[in-house]
Amino acid sequence: MKRTITHLADGRELIYFDLRDDADRSAIDRRTLDPRPVASELRYDPLTEEWIAIAGHRQTRTHQPTGTAAECPLCPSSDARSTEIPAYDYDVVVFENRFPSFSGNFGTYEAVGGLSEVRPGVGRCEVVCFTSEHSSSFSQLSDAQVELVMEAWADRTAELSAIEGVEQVFCFENRGSEIGITLAHPHGQIYAYPYVTPRTKLQLGAASRYTKGNLFADVLAAEREAGARVVASNELWTAFVPAAARWPFEVHVYPHRQVPDLAALTEAERAAFAPLYTSLLRAFDGLFGVVMPYIAAWHQAPVRQGRELAYLHLELFSIRRAPEKLKYLAGSESAMGAFVNDVLPEEAARMLRSQIDH
């Protein structure tokens, strides 16, 4: 694996991850770009004890071009057109988001009154292009390509965790117009947050109150023993539908060894993840004969707290509950955070297993 760091015309960092050691990454960004926006401001909600990022500059971000490679900013550049990736080809690329929710480019942050504290949205947001093939998808990547993506995730997790003020690193993929993606090219994102996210706080709080061992490890062991909701497994990973799934089709993928983050996985664990995960994604697409929108979210330990309790795992879920029906977050879910699932978890697991077996 070859790692090459370069910079775009506005100073943003771009990193190539290549399978070949002889890849030429000398191409430069030929564009003239506007100055980079200042970082968002964080406002504290005293009623929920959560930080909210206010990022007005993101209103101007690229939104759903034609969907073809001819206008895609994530495809390789060519003699006729320059994109976010200066090279004319690539394997995997990571670069700083042009419209970040968090960054180190600070502006002026003034008090807004009331009980809300205001502070800079320190951190970093990156885009991860999984392949140069515009019409491809993660499910179609080769095992070697998936391992290269995992190498990029692990590299960025370690690097971003070292940034002053960063408390948690989140690697994720949004797929499908129903999810709200703005670009169709196969890609994901990485957020380096200046706080521990609310979901992680809840999980680590539950883990800290659990007295029988490690909560995550025991959840995994119990699901493996029960078997009814296990969708796929190999010697190093297990994928299962949680008993209290929130989403119509929701699968959690755990390594059998407790590790805090992606950077702690061994080469063998990364290699074993690749075929299991792509088969799971293909099973999602096979359920209804239509492309499944999904969110794939890596839950990693915070940078400084709860690392001994945390357990790296991936949550993959879709809002599609039937061929022409979506699960909308309406009043109960959006206002109260109280989920109602339309699909029995055991039935969801059975349906997914049938696609993998098929």
Residues with a catalytic annotation lie at 187
Rounded alpha-carbon distances, angstroms, from residue 267 to 146, 188, 195: 12, 22, 30
User: How many Å is the maximal CA-CA distance in the chain?
Assistant: 62
Contacts of residue 142, Cβ cutoff 8 Å, sequence gap at least 6: none
Which amino acid, residue 264?
A
Count of alpha carbons within 13 angstroms of residue 240, beta-carbon side: 22
Token output for 261:
């983050």
DSSP symbol at 11: S
State the pairing for strand pair 92-96/13-18: antiparallel
CA 194 to chain centre: 17
Q: Between the CA of residue 110 and those of 55, 117, 282, what are the distances in Å?
A: 15, 9, 49
Element of type H or E holding 317:
strand 313-318
* 50-54 β-sheet, strand order: 50-54, 41-45, 118-120
Strands (E), 176-248: 187-193, 230-233, 237-240
How many residues are recorded in the chain? 358
Q: Is 119 helix (H, G, I), strand (E, B) or coil?
A: strand
